[in-house]
Structure formats: C-alpha cells, structure tokens
Structure 1
Amino acid sequence: MNRPIRIGLIAEGEAELGPSVPYIKPEDGGKAIDRNQEGALHTLIRRELQSIGISDCEFVQRHPLAKESKRRTGYSILQPKYLAQVVISWSPEEVDMILITVDSDDELSQRQSKLQKALETIRENHFDTNDHPIDDQSVGGIAIRNFETWLLADYQAVAQLLALDLEEIESLEGSDSTKEILEQATTDSTYLANDSSNQRPLRVRWDLAFKVDLDVVKFRCPVGYGAFIQDCMQTARATQERIESE
C-alpha cells in the first residue's frame, strides 16, 4: 500500500503550528489538517521528509478532549496525563507517527527530563490495531531556546525575505534573544505589510520555513534541530517501509 505518512504533531503553539492551533472542532478530530492551515514546523518537517525521498505526509488534527475547545499551548503540553489523553484519542488508522517538540527556554536540563517522560507516556498510549503499544514510532525534540532559533539559523534567507540587514548570531543555540530578534525584524520589515492582522507574524514564520536552507539549520542548531530531525528521518523511513508492506 502506498499512502502518505500520517503524523500527529504536538508542539507549543502558533509559532510552530500556525493557524491550525487555536480551536478544535470535534468533526475535525483525526482528519488531515488543511495545508492552508498548517504552520512553519509542519513545513520544515515535510521538506525534510521530501529530502530523503518520502514524497508526502499528512499532519493529523487531534481530537478535542472533554470540555476542551482550544488546544493547550506552552510547555504544559508535556504534562503526562494530558499527553496520554491526546495520544489515546487517536485511533491506529489515524496516526502512524507522533512527534512532539518543546522550547527549552532557560531550563534545558529540566525540559530534557520532562520530554523523555513525555515520550514514555506517548509510547505507553500509542497502540496498533491489535492494541499493542507502539514504542518506535514517536520522536521528541527541543528547540534551544525557542522555535525562532531554528528559523534564524539561515540568517541570509531571513534577511532576503524581510529585505533587512541582519547580523549573524555567532552562538545561535546559546542566544537568549532569537525570539525577540525575529519579532523585531518582522516589525521593521515591509514584507506582508498590508496584512494588519495578528496572523502576519505567523505567516512570516511560515514563509521563512519554505526559504531557509535545511542543511544550514541542522549545522547551526545541532543540539536542537539537528538531533530532532535525525531521529525523525530514521523513524520516518521505518514507518514508510511498514506502510509499503501493508
């Protein structure tokens, strides 16, 4: 069988997930997210998959939990009880892979520990059609210190898109100002200036995800993006082989 890999992507919020993040309609649970509603992280992952010969994937909307109309955001997505409910709500037919990313902020070691526990929770609650736990189809990643760091890694692409002069940040994963730098650059730029809505910063991030050089991002963010993508691609290859053998 040849079909797109179906991915359940859990991330902190709008910077990563774009307009797909705010509200969850019960009828959309388990369905592929409309590509016009995707965000920057969806795009980076799809581009990486295409680079290893996986032609397509679908990102799957999760099911709303009881009394929940809006997705949880921020690092609280790592909370085990919450994650268990999210993961177990997906049926085996809806999701092949589950990916989760979180920002390190100023608490790298603590977030690494919590991410590992979150992955254990995901693997304990991700079942196949025979109700057996799937322990090799989930990946976690940490953006150091935040998701904007990954987009700023290719500062030349950012400068070109936003038509601004930007200086390269020497120790990118050691910087605590990448989010503020990208926010200020977005404010200063005339790119998409006709869009006065609160969606403009999300659109800028999304467009950057199509432009940045993926090899540059992996090289300049080896601890965060590089490690995450390496694990993603290894898991995606195994997932693709399983799908083709169905």
Structure 2
Amino acid sequence: MIILLGETPAAREISEHLQNRGINFIKKSAWIGKDNLTLPSVIVDISHPSSDKFVSLSQFCKQSGVPYLRLERPETNIPDSPLISQACNWEEALLCLNERISTLYQKKERQVKVFITTGSHQLESIVHSPFAGMARFIVRVLPEGCLVQKCQDLGIHPRDILAMQGPFSKDINKALFKFYGADIVLTKDSGLAGGTDTKISSALELGLEILLIRKNKAGYGLIMNNIDELITWIDENILK
C-alpha cells in the first residue's frame, strides 16, 4: 500500500500514474499524525514544499522502518545581496519579518507593504502576529475559491488578494511588485520550476527586501528531484 501525501500538481500526476498501473494507494492532503498510517509499504510525500511537518514524518518513518520518498525541487542558487534575508522555517521567518517590518515602519512612518508569494500556507501566523498592525499584506494564491475565502476570513482586503496561477515571468512579477508598492517580498525556495529565481531577480531590480524561506532537510528517506525519477522508483520497487 502507498500513502500519497499532497495536493500539488505533481501529486495529481503521481495519482494518475498509480491508477493507470492498478497500484493501491491512499491519497491524503497532508500527514497529521502517525495514527493515520496503518502499516503502509511506502510513503510518497509530495506535499507543499514549505510544510514543516515532513521532517517529523521522516523521523517517524525511520523509527517505524517505513520507506519514505520525498519529491523536492533542486535548491535555487541565491545571489549574494544585503537585500536578501533567509530563514530555515516559519518561526525564523516570523522573527525576521518582525524585525524588518518594525525597522521599515519607523523609517517610512507608514504601513509596510509585504507581498506574500507563499500562498495561504501559514497565513494565520502572519496576520495574527504582533507586527500585523504595522503592515499591509498582499497575498498571491492559486485561483481557488476556498483559498480566496480563507484570505478574506483572515481579514485580507479583496484588493490585496491576487488569485493567479504561476509560475510567473520576471516581467509579471516586477509589474505586480511595483503596482502594489511592495517593500518586502516573502517567498519560499520552490526551485526554478516554481519561479524562485524570477521572483528574486524582479525584487532585486526594484530594490525590495526579500525574505526567503529555505527548504527543510529530511533526515531520512529518498529525496528525488523530478517526477520521472520517482515514477521509475515506484515501477522498479512496487511493481517488481
């Protein structure tokens, strides 16, 4: 049995592959605890790359002796710039946002505009943070009604919600950052396929500060960088 984690396009592609080959699997949006795993033969994790839970999941798999596969895009080469701050997780990102927003708020004497390209993930922790009153958040999410509604329920004004499907070109990113008058761009390292390089280069050309959330490192399991590699492993190890 395969436990497939994730609601990403890659997860949907893997689902179709498994169905076409008649492989039994259970699809979950995310891992929420070991009680949901009933002795699977393998866990294939294609969940959101900014999820912090997969580190503890990999540790659980190691302790339980369950094969763990994680699809990860290669890390982006980040240019050396004083405008770029990096965080290893959301806790560090919130601390960094607090420091940068507080500094810019005192300097500019107005709300600091933060352009969020990490979607709705962990948005609650941002809008409910101590620094929220000093900032205006512009959020870019996938064009799905539930995500737009989530942003509105959290108090994001409709004018500050961009429901768009990426990845985006450098010119589009630059135009959006400029249109909204962004001061800080919050993004995650989702690799070249996720457009991390174009977001960073666009922001740098505009002289904007960038807060980049780097990838977490799993301590156990097989890390694969593309879908074909993962499918090949499944064919060779599950269908053999």
Task: State the TM-score, normalizing by the size of structure 1.
Answer: 0.33
Give the number of the structure whose alpha-carbon radius of gyration is greater.
2
Task: State the TM-score, normalizing by the size of structure 2.
Answer: 0.34
In terms of fraction of residues, the more strand-rich structure is 2
